A = this chain, B = another copy of it.
Amino acid sequence: MQEHKKNIIGGLNKLFDHRVRLGIMAMLLVSERVDFNQLKAQLGITDGRLAGHIKALEEAKYIEALKQFIGKRPNTSYHVTGAGREAFKEHLDALERLLTLRDNLPPREGD
Residues of A within 8 A of B (CB): 6-10, 12, 14, 17-20, 22-23, 26-27, 29-30, 32, 42-45, 81-82, 85, 89, 92, 95, 98-99, 101-102, 105, 108, 111
Contacts and interface: CB of A to CB of B under 8 A. Distances in A.
Given A7-B44, A14-B19, 9 more contacts: A7-B43, A8-B27, A8-B43, A9-B23, A9-B43, A9-B44, A17-B19, A22-B98, A27-B101
The listed residue with most B CB atoms (<10 A of its CB), out of A6, A14, A22, is A22
A92 B86 CA distance: 21
Nearest to A102: B29
A26 to B, nearest CB: 5
A26 B85 contact: no
A54 to B, nearest CB: 15
